[in-house]
Amino acid sequence: MSLTPRRIISPIIAALVFSTPFVSYAQRMAVEAEHGMVVSVHELAAQVGADVLQRGGNAVDAAVATGFALGVVYPWAGPLGGGGFMMIHLADGRDIAIDYRERAPAAASRDMYLGPDGNVLKGPGSSTFGWRASGVPGDVAGWALALEKYGSHKLSWAELIEPARRLAADGHHITQFTASRFRSQAEKLGAFADSKKIFLNGGALWRTGDLWRQPELAATLARLQQNGPREFYEGETARLIADAMARNGGTLTLADLKNYTAVERVPVRMTYRGYEIVTMPPPSSSGIALLQMFAMIEPFDVAALGPNSAAKYHLFIEAMRRAYRDRAEYLGDPDFVKVPVAGLMDRNYIAGLMKNFDPAKATPSAGLAPGGPAGWEPPKVASVPSGGFAESTETTHFSIVDAEGNAVANTFTLNGGFGSGVTIPGTGVLMNNEMDDFTSKPGTPNQFRLIQGEANAIAPGKHPLSSMAPTFVFKDGKIFLVTGAPGGSTIINAVFQVITNVIDFNLPVSLAVDTPRIHHQWMPDVVNYDPYGLSKDTMDALRAKGHQFEERNFFGGQLVPVIERYPNDTMTIMVDPATHLRLGAADSRKPDSKAVGY
């Protein structure tokens, strides 16, 4: 006689198995450490940062070492050919934002990605693929600036690069995830000789466990150690980049590299239920959008709605829709356009955005007007999306807290996975395709399906608008959370939900990070969600209010319950206010991620 599963499962076990738990994914405990903590998407990079902390370096020193190491072990997102943002909190109370975002080359122009028919170009020559897609990289300049002004000066520039150089020269063993990333982008990488040689093993493909060496990158890192950061912008490396660009119809020149500078900006900040949130100002859209969303939901008793009720999701979707609507209209590089920061963050203005919020009904995105903050003349309205998208994308965020209480939240990117696909011959440096973050054509969506406006039009020297959101949360003036995420347009919503999970629902930090999330970005007017993250009855209740769900993941891939397909992992640290323990939560969405503390 065979027992069917139904007969052998007791009612109690059945209740446990078949009820909808809050978390659908395996939970991991946060890693506790007394002194310092680094949480990164790759264990080797986290270990490099933690070693620096243990050797007496501060959080900024560790960030620089971790960043360089990620350039070696996480090549589709973190190499030297990209840019990003570093938020620094110093134990003396200062908060600093380092903007090392790429800038458009001098030869860039507003319509450079439009074909003769007026449509946005695809393929070679476009804003996403090949030699014309790159902005001037900022990583090296940004990390050098951070180190010079805020490093401990106990460890030299060369010493902080050394672990990365060794990883490149001696090699490291390829993980299953890395092998799969290389495989999945074989077509893109195969189009460029050096990318094919390095990332595809000349076409034979790398397998899990292979020892992978990157001698050209090791040599580039050695030149940086020897000649200092200007090597990248004026030295042999700069010459190799500029020559390759010139030979292949690229836009970037030696003068562009020479003229690149990273800049310090003033973070944006606002309180939410007594906590202070300090985050990235323009040219990232993230800080303003994030703070707008917090201000929109603060008047509501979110805790009482429960962590996964339809009422909560409805409120969050409506806040997201409104913040992303404003983002599309008003945000751009503040060095080029007047961004009405104070107007956008004014609480009365934000309350006005929610005036038409209906707890019973979704507000259709079509026809939703931007708010019209003080200090801005509304530009021409962007229209509804057309065209598609289908790209694997990647960025990476790491969080660090040191023994003194200094902290770094750092997000950097090549934009699309493996950026433009181009590796500069002889350097091992893979180049970004950050130019796609500009508005190629108002009303036409970019690879994140973001519709953007005139404020983010292309101009020489301009920073493309970003969604990257390295963020701090303070409790009673003390650092409490350090967080951030990759995921293009989804970043802002990922960070938003991690923080509300902690503040409103009191979730332990590992759960706050791992738990399923939703995403809405005004246009397209759909909700994306983690599979199994929403119960059917919750989705039905939301559909009844007028929301539509998209049966694809955030990036157009098939909706399947494989957590690693969801790129908006949040590498987060909580500092326990009672014990001061650093609790590192590496998001299980990324299989090689790790929190390493001491």
Provide, rounded to whole angstroms, the least separation between the CB of residue 296 and ligand DON.
21
Q: Is residue 142 a contact residue for ligand DON (CB under 6 A)?
A: no
Q: Which of residues 139, 394, 402, 525 is near ligand DON by CB under 6 A?
A: 394
Beta bridge partners of 87: 97, 409
Pick between residue 395 and residue 420 the one whose CB is nearest to ligand DON.
395
Q: Which of residues 446, 456, 466, 570 is near ligand DON by CB under 6 A?
A: 466
Q: Tell me the C-alpha to C-alpha distance, in Å, between residue 592 and each of 70, 125, 415, 568.
A: 12, 34, 20, 14
The 3-class SS string of 379-392 reads: CCCCCCCCCCCCCC
Pick between residue 178 and residue 466 the one whose CB is nearest to ligand DON.
466
Q: Is residue 195 a contact residue for ligand DON (CB under 6 A)?
A: no
Q: Which of residues 467, 483, 515, 572 is near ligand DON by CB under 6 A?
A: 467
Q: Which residue pairs, CB below 8 angstroms and at least 24 apart, start in 342-350?
A: 342/374, 342/375, 343/373, 343/374, 343/375, 343/376, 344/288, 344/292, 344/371, 344/373, 345/268, 345/270, 345/288, 345/291, 345/292, 345/295, 346/373, 346/374, 347/295, 349/373, 349/374, 350/292, 350/295, 350/296
Pick between residue 160 and residue 468 the one whose CB is nearest to ligand DON.
468
Report the alpha-carbon distance of residue 228 to residue 257 in Å, rounded.
15
Interface with ligand DON by CB under 6 A: which range of 219-227, 254-262, 270-278, 391-399? Answer: 391-399
Q: Tell me the C-alpha to C-alpha distance, in Å, between residue 315 and each of 151, 293, 311, 357, 547.
A: 42, 10, 6, 8, 12
Binding mask 476-515 for ligand DON (x = CB under 6 A): ----------xxx--x------------------------
Binding mask 428-457 for ligand DON (x = CB under 6 A): ------x--x--------------------
User: In a 3-state reduction of DSSP, which class is residue 484?
Assistant: coil
Q: How big is the chain, counted in residues?
A: 598
User: Is residue 403 within 8 Å of 53, Cβ to Cβ?
Assistant: yes
Q: Is residue 567 a contact residue for ligand DON (CB under 6 A)?
A: yes
Binding mask 287-316 for ligand DON (x = CB under 6 A): ------------------------------
Whether 395 sits among the annotated catalytic residues: the reply is: yes
**What is the rounded (10 degree) CA torsion for 238, 242, 248, 250?**
110
Provide, rounded to whole angstroms, the least separation between the CB of residue 535 and ligand DON.
27
Pick between residue 127 and residue 395 the one whose CB is nearest to ligand DON.
395
Pick between residue 214 and residue 553 the one whose CB is nearest to ligand DON.
553
How many chain residues touch ligand DON (CB under 6 A)? Answer: 15
Q: Is residue 413 a contact residue for ligand DON (CB under 6 A)?
A: yes
Q: Which residues are catalytic?
A: 395
Residues that bind ligand DON (CB under 6 A): 393-395, 413, 415, 434, 437, 466-468, 486-488, 491, 567
